[in-house]
Structure 1
Amino acid sequence: MTAKDVASSATPDEECLDCGYEPELKRTLGGFQVFAVSFAFISVAVGIFATYDDLLKSAGPVGIWLWILAAIGQALVALVVAQFAARIALSGSSYQWASRLANPKIGWLFGWLTFWYLAIAVIALDNALASQAFMPLMGMQENEDTARIITVVVLIVQSVLVIASTRLLGMITSSAVGIELGIIVVLVIALAVVMVFTGSGDLSNLASRGVTTDAPNYFAIGGGLMAGMIMGLTTLVGFDSAANLAEEAKDPFKSVPRAIVASVLAAGVLGFVFLIALTVAIKDIPAVSASGSPVAAIIRGQFGVVAERILLAGLVFAMFGAGMVVIAACSRQVFAMARDKRFPAHELMKKVNPKTQTPVPATLLILAVGVVLMLALPGEALIPLIVGSTLLPALIYTGIVILYIAVRKRLEYKPGGFSLGRFEMPVAVAALIWEAFVLFVLVTPGDNTIPVLIVVGLVLAGGVYFAFMFFFHREILDEEPGIDDAVPEVTA
């Protein structure tokens, strides 16, 4: 089977069959639900809530202008990702694209990196939910052990719901996105009205360096201004999660690429408007910068405690929905690799429950990884792991762009499908330059040595299993379902 065949299959289910797979997952996600999957993963309100304090301390309020640069750069990458999603609609996204258009060995590396990125991302997200939103909402004192227990409970509930039904996942995710959009719109309008009528806003904040005014090396490589990029780079990611659920989407060749591009554009615009409103609304920059939750502090200062609690309640639900999306995307990544016999314990991990039509063992694996890391790693070890995971999407997106440039001529356009036409190469080259810059930004800070080593360690750990396949079951890495002969049964 050729790449042309992959691109020109008549229907999504026929493509699964042509690619060597029996359709097992249920197609229940409509257009808005697919968009909600990508937007919920990005979760712009949650991302700003979690990283605004870092921005104020590293770059100051003026650092919000870097969001525009991040949004444009990530939109370029999203356009490239959408080109693949419009032609190969299989669970596993970049793993499948690389395996079928380059070779299975390269595809395996994409899959392994994506698995760990998603597995760590859900831990970071749910831990932030517990410590920065749920505990303040309940009036609970800061306590790392309590936050970890809450995180584990949240992971369990999310996993159960993800297993129960993809339709339920879509409903909860859509609701979470609706609430998040409502939070942003209402807060922006309310802040604007209050500031206009009370004069409590300060436009000069938009050009202020705040507490970083006298910081040395502010403009240096790895300095405060460059560190301000982190908010946009860590928030505007995960838009490709819709592609990971492509086998559960209706009309994925149209809905998935549209969702990928639309989610980045919507998050970029809404996020920047939200940042403008928040920054202008700061009454005391040093006090807000010193707060553990500056967004909540700004809302409390402008509207009072009740409004702060409403904000926290909305963020708890938005974070919960985003966590469900990450678990679902990660479990589909495991499922996709396992059915090709390229993941540990693949005979178990590829199983789909006939009643729920969801990959139960793969979902439980994500839960197990989260619980083990939460209970086993102390705070000083968990933080570098989470920081290290921010490097993984940059590596994955860089690889996707390079792959597209290398194989773009082998992708056949679908009539009426998403396509950049004559702009494909300029966009791809611009996206590659952008990703090179992103990697430079992420690895240059001096305190990122341990996170970089963690990423290297994860790659090397995967290399052990890769070596096992390479030397003992070479046919797994040489043959591709639907393209080559059927992959023989292998025990792992």
Structure 2
Amino acid sequence: FWGNQNALSQTVTEVSQSTSNFGVAILATLFAYDGWILIANLGGEMKNPQKLLPKAIILGISTVLVIYTLITIGILRFLPANLIHHLGENAPAYMTAKAFGPLGGKIIAAGIIISVLGTLNGKVLTFPRIVFAMAKRKDIPFSKSLSYLSPKGKAPIAATVFVSALAFIMMLFFDPNRLSDLCVFSIYCFYILAFFGIFILRKQNNKRPFSTPLYPLVPIIAIAGGIFVAVCEIINDFHGVILFLGFIALGLPIFYLVKKYYNSKV
């Protein structure tokens, strides 16, 4: 409405000059869209998840995509690209303060706080459920403690404390921006494996509660996109990637030792 009409073309030209940086930029935004997997983690607690999960994922991600795109276009129309680059994450606050005065800055700050609390709420609800499910199957150490549920609310208290402590330790040793990028990279390594798993499940021809639409095109696109982002992060932060892959690889011997221990008890 107010800004530089050349801002969009200027930004696109700059981005096209470096493929790896473009991939890392995508990696940074993927954290915002990662709610789809959080919904899936709660599938066991839903009534009729076969119908509700696809609707929630499609409508939720589409809504976020539209809102983010409109906000981005608004910022690019209001500010020249070089100023956006200089301001970094402060660009939205700068724009609202310029457009609406001091009240605008307060509104965007309040919106960010609400967004952060909403994200934390979703993560706290879902991440401990992964640890709880693994502990219930005796896949991790201290499974008896980590599979504990509170008598009244049936909440995985021990798993929640464990995940919170682990997050706190990681925050002490990593820059938040780098930590989020490496965490998304690690998550997408598992997503790629899960996308490959769709082909294995189809080959087994077992009865399935949900069938992937447009198979095999959808998993192929998902795998290609995941590999592109992963490779870009490897180029951008090779040492960080090696460190996180080391953490992931460390889980394999622990998993097999734990399974061997519990099998010996049977």
Task: Give the TM bin, normalised by the shorter chain.
Answer: 0.7 to 0.9
TM-aligned CA deviation for residue 255 of structure 1: 1.3
CA displacement, residues 323-348 of structure 1 (integer Å, 9 cap, x when unaligned): 12112211000110001111221101
Q: Kindly indicate whether residue 90 of structure 2 is the aligned counterpart of residue 311 of structure 1.
A: no
Q: Distance in 1 between matches of 2:6 and 2:181?
A: 32
Q: Percent identity?
A: 20
The answer as to whether partners of 2:186 and 2:245 remain within 8 angstroms in 1 is: no
C-alpha deviation, 1:231, in angstroms: 4.0
After superposition, where does 1:165-184 map in structure 2 within 5 Å?
A: none
From 73, 86, 102, the equivalent of 1:290 is 86
Aligned to 2:42: 245
2: CA distance, partners of 1:383 / 1:206: 25
> Deviation of residue 472 (structure 1)?
3.6
Residue of 414, 421, 425 corresponding to 2:216: 425
* CA–CA distance in structure 1, aligned partners of residues 19 and 68 of structure 2: 26
| Letter paired with 1:202 | N
1:266 aligned residue = 63
Q: Is structure 2 residue 6 aligned with structure 1 residue 207?
A: no
Distance apart, 1:301 and its partner CA: 1.5
Alignment pair present for 1:435 and 2:226: yes
* C-alpha separation in 2, matches of 1:296 and 1:226: 25
Q: 1:219 aligns with which of 17, 20, 30?
A: 17
Cα deviation, 1:193-240, whole Å, max 9, x if unaligned, reads: xx3xxxx22222111139x96x9xx62442x44444334434322311
Number of residue pairs matched by the alignment: 264
Q: Indicate which of 207, 226, 244 corresponds to 1:412.
A: 207
Indicate yes or no: 2:186 matched with 1:388: no
- Is contact 1:384-1:450 (8 Å) kept? no
What is the CA–CA distance in structure 1 between the aligned matches of 2:146 and 2:124, rounded to whole Å? 14
For 2:241, the aligned partner's letter is V
Is residue 455 from structure 1 mapped to residue 252 from structure 2 by the alignment?
no
Report if aligned partners of 2:185, 2:230 keep a CA contact under 8 Å in 1.
yes
Change (3 A) 1:258 1:470: same
Residue 420 of structure 1, CA deviation? 4.4
Q: Which residue of 197, 210, 214 maps to 1:403?
A: 197
**1:411 Cα shift?**
4.4
What is the Cα deviation at residue 316 of structure 1?
0.3
Q: Where in structure 2 are the equivalents of 1:74-153 lying within 5 Å?
A: none
Taking the aligned partners of 1:226 and 1:252, their CA distance within structure 2 comes to: 33
CA RMSD of aligned residues (A): 2.7
Give the letter for the 2:202 counterpart. R
Letter in 2 for 1:311: I
Given that 1:339 and 1:350 are in contact with CA atoms closer than 8 Å, whether structure 2 keeps it comes out as yes
Task: Determine the C-alpha separation between the residues in 2 that align with 1:347 and 1:354.
Answer: 15
Q: CA deviation at 1:449?
A: 1.5
The 3-state SS of whatever aligns with 1:344 is: coil
Query: What residue identity is the alignment partner of 1:260?
Result: I
Q: Separation in 1 of the partners of 2:212 and 2:238? A: 38
Cα–Cα, structure 1 residues 261 and 444, in superposed 2: closer, same or farther, change >3 Å? same
Query: In terms of mean alpha carbon deviation, does 228-237 or 426-435 score higher?
Result: 228-237
C-alpha distance in 2 between matches for 1:411 and 1:268: 34
Is 1:350 aligned with 2:144? no
TM-score, normalising length: structure 2: 0.87
Structure-2 separation of matches of 1:221 and 1:300: 33
Q: Which amino acid aligns with 1:289?
A: H
Structure 2: distance between partners of 1:469 and 1:307 = 54
Matched to 1:207, the amino acid is: S
Structure 1, unaligned stretches of length 5 or more?
1-194, 477-487
